[in-house]
Structure 1
Amino acid sequence: MRVLIASVAGCAVLGGVLTLLPWGPSGTRAAPPAPGAQALAAVTTGVTAALPDLALLIDEHETHLRTHPKDARAWAVLGAAYVEQGRRTADPANYPKAENALRASLRVRERNAEALDGMAALANARRDFHAARTWGEAALKVDRKRWTTYPLLIEAQTGMGDYRAAKRTLDRLLKLRSGPAVQARAAALYRDRGWREDAAAALSDAAAATGAPAERAAYLERAGQLAWERGDLEVALRHFQEAVRLDPDQRAALAGQGRTLAALGRSTEALNAYRAALAKQPRPEYALELGELYESLGLGQAARVQYDLLRERAARAAAGGVDEELVLGLYEADHGDTEMAVRRLRVEWRRQPGIPVADALGWALHRAGEDKEALKFARRATDRQKGGGVRSALYAYHRGMIERSLELAGPARRHLEEALRINPHFSPTRVPLAQAALEELGEPSVQDVPDMDAKPRRK
């Protein structure tokens, strides 16, 4: 199903940033909020803020706090702004600054929901979902009706693999609040449960309802990712391009362009998009994707440069308290030390057993030759009853290849075909492998085809 870009009647309100501007006495609209005020409204409601506005907000609050060090709210806002700046730039040096500011706020006023929210957001940004859940629950003890806490708690619960709790939290959020930020949070959970149409509709409504360019660009980037995941390349590319037009600092959308252009065979443009994304947002996963694109083009040396950069950036992130074990495990499984991949991902699974970790650990075990155990994790990653409802071509591919190694021809064929059906372009390196594996497996045998006329056995 194609992502629908529909208009929404009226204008949803999200804090100060989305409120309709009042008319002045002369019949003209009042002046828009100053950039610092726009960023303040964004960071205090948990939505994406423009980077120049964020820099101004940080400067204003640092200046204010030099003479007003007992202003708990100003410390909380400064900490939240640092978290957002770190998230948007992938610069982990922002996170210790954020933690210092948020803890200063809590020292001034202990029962401080704004600072507790900030700590939850910081922990999520660092991929420490256990800590994020703890901070989010503490914030709700201070103010049960504080709606901005609920999206943070949903993200933490999802990262911990507690999908039922995330659904309950979303239900409570929807009773408290509506608007673009809530619709986007709901879309993420719908996507994880495999409800693509619902996710696309929620993102469409969110993008249509907000007038803030950076926020709208963030929702369009997510809509582009949804379109990419189902192999709708032209729609994905349009969403990514519009996101970058609205907010040139939307580097996730640039990486999305690289991913989509590569699938369309426009390799030079794809390489340029990835390089631009990495220049301003050096996330290790972008380096991994770019390295694999180079590999698919037969440029092994260029790929190795990216893999070296991946390790360097992951080490820098770790110095800022960021957990990059998932991407490092995936890298090691496919391009490095498979035993190291298993060790890393076993630890990660014990810490926060979400679906992406289940898939990665299963794949690492397969690469290390432990196929029977690998299949247990691959099944978990694709088991709707345990939260694995997301329709992921990569997860289906991993499961199919593991089943092939175990000589389970029928299931292997079904899952490899499913991977190519979900997204025929999901990976420049893995798609050819899936196609070759299917050719080797051949057509299904009589034993692989269920007898639809057979009567079920009585128990």
Structure 2
Amino acid sequence: MKSETLRNTVAGVLGGAAALTLVVLLVPGWGDGDGGSPREAAGRALSAAAAGAPAAVDDLAALIADRERRVRESPGDDRAWAQLGAAYVERGVGSGETALFPKAERALRRSLALRAPDRGNTAALVGLGALANARNDFGAAREFGERARALRPGSWAVYPVLVDAYGGLGDPEAAGRAVDALRGLASGPQVEGRHAQAFRDRGLREDAAVVAHDAGVHATTRAERAAAHHRQGELAWERGEYAEAVAHYEAALEADPGAHRSLGGRARSLAALGRAEEARQDYARVLERRPLPGYALEWGELEESLGERARARSLFGRMRELVARGRRDGVDGDVVLARYEADHGAPEAAVHRLRDQWRRGHRSAEVADALGWALYRAGSPEEAVPFASRAVGQGAGSALFSYHRG
């Protein structure tokens, strides 16, 4: 659940539980009117963030417009710059608009230039950590998160960044400790979602499913319900229970039609069920609304499996274009490229890319699985076994990891 950036930054700016009651005071006029104005929408986005809930897409857009106006009028407002940067990251993660990431970095670094972290501006550090996670730069995310924790160890806002960073680095124990610290400081569906993630990363899938279900039970907004169902859909997908996954993704989309990642999850699950035409429709929609290279790769593999080689080649080309676009915006797409190369291109190139990821400390179960499979495809099965075994051990319950090891 990478897209909790805005929530974390609001908490860092305002401080703890006071954020929820003070958020409407941030901008003159918030809290007035009929609830339909752009400022009211921006206020709802900040209120949702402070409460630990996802922001609605339209409210987030209103917040971005409001904060852009604010920094034009008051360029010395470090809080507004931090909020703007966090909102850019949130929007970029949700929409796949990686061009927002350089804008986010500029805004967050401007905030730090106006007020240093040791003068209370840990919010910008949290935002930079979330941005690094969004770019798959987990080492940098850990650094930003640990700097923020050293300055404000009692702020719950720093811990989601650390959970994602340590998860990407393949250190589930450290991620679990960050979740435990978070649970000691905050509660609610989003915290339960993090707890479910920690269980999943430690291979405790049944526990993860129970906690993910609880997050759905405790959800109070449409966006929270969508997030909870999406998480349950992901767990079902990894277990190979595709019909159950489709049901959860559809529940997420019913709760929030803008939950595009659930559209992608449904496409993947429909393809696994052999419902190819429905999967094609979902892939077309999700690539239009959230153009990420992984979706193009999945759709291309579906077309290839159906004998549509020309269409598959076109989609693989689209995947490469999206990776290149993301790279220009600081996003590391090498794992996606390596998965493509292992099965459709040059397995030796895939091994090279993934070894580089491993050297950088990116040792999650996903990277271990990809490296093991690439080594096998490149003709080095004995060297592949330890990586495949690590992936299965750390990601127990994943049908894909078990298949690759087998």
C-alpha separation in 2, matches of 1:396 and 1:14: 46
| Per-residue deviation, residues 167-225 of structure 1 (Å, max 9, x unmatched) | 22222222112111110011111112222222122222222222222232122111111
1:48-84 superposed Cα distances (whole Å, 9 cap, x missing partner): 3222111110000010111111111111100000000
Larger Rg: 1
Counterpart pick for 2:374 among 364, 370, 378: 364
- Matched residue SS, 1:34: helix
CA 1:171 to 1:244, structure 2 compared with 1: closer, same or farther past 3 Å? same
Residue-by-residue CA offset, 1:408-446 (whole Å, 9 max, x unaligned): xxxxxxxxxxxxxxxxxxxxxxxxxxxxxxxxxxxxxxx
1:178 and 2:187 are equivalent in the alignment: yes
Residue type at the aligned position of 1:349: W
Seq. identity, %: 49
How far has the Cα of 1:45 moved from its partner?
6.0
Q: Indicate the residue corresponding to 1:27 in structure 2.
A: none
What is the deviation of 1:14?
Answer: 11
Counterpart residue number, 1:109: 115
Choose the corresponding residue for 2:159, options 121, 134, 150: 150
Greater percentage in helix: 2
Distance 1:279 1:389 in 2: 31
Contact 1:91 1:281 in 2 (8 A): yes
Q: Once the two structures are superposed, what CA deviation does each residue of 1:332-367 show, in whole Å capped at 9, x if it has no partner?
A: 101111111111111011112222111111111111
Distance of aligned partners of 1:218 and 1:255 in 2 relative to their CA distance in 1, 3 Å threshold:
same
Query: Counterpart of 2:363?
Result: 353
**Cα gap change, 1:158/1:165 in structure 2, threshold over 3 Å: closer, same or farther?**
same
The residue aligned with 1:319 is 328
Matched, 1:396 2:402: yes
Q: Tell whether the 8 Å contact from 1:258 to 1:274 is kept in structure 2 after alignment.
A: yes
Answer yes or no: is the 8 Å Cα contact 1:132–1:153 preserved in 2. yes
> What are the equivalent positions in structure 2 for 1:221-260 lying under 5 Å apart?
221-260=230-269
| Aligned counterpart in structure 2 of residue 305 of structure 1, from 287, 290, 314 | 314
Report the counterpart of residue 416 of structure 1 in structure 2: none
Q: Would you say the 8 A contact 1:161–1:353 is kept in 2? A: yes
Q: Gapped runs of 5+ residues in structure 1?
A: 1-12, 20-29, 401-459
For residues 43 and 312 of structure 1, the distance between their equivalents in structure 2, rounded to whole angstroms, comes to 33
Q: How many angstroms does 1:298 deviate by?
A: 1.5
- With normalisation by structure 2, the TM-score equals 0.87
Alignment equivalent of 1:379, drawn from 382, 389, 394: 389
> 1:292, CA displacement in angstroms?
1.1
Moved more, 121-130 or 358-367: 358-367
Residue 251 of structure 1 and its aligned partner are, at CA, apart by 1.2
Q: Give the drift of 1:382.
A: 2.0
1:263 and 1:40 map into 2 onto residues whose CA distance is 39
What is the TM-score normalised by the length of structure 1?
0.78
Match of 2:343 in 1: 334
Distance 2:18 2:367 in 1: 34
Report if aligned partners of 1:46, 1:148 keep a CA contact under 8 Å in 2. no
d(CA) in 2 for partners of 1:156, 1:44: 22
Inter-partner Cα distance in structure 2 for 1:42 and 1:73:
17
Residue in 2 that maps onto 1:191: 200
Contact 1:43 1:84 survives alignment (8 Å): no
Q: Secondary structure at the match of 2:54?
A: coil
Q: Which residue of 2 aligns with 1:16?
A: 20
Aligned-partner SS, 2:244: helix
C-alpha displacement of 1:43: 4.2
Amino acid across the alignment from 2:54:
T
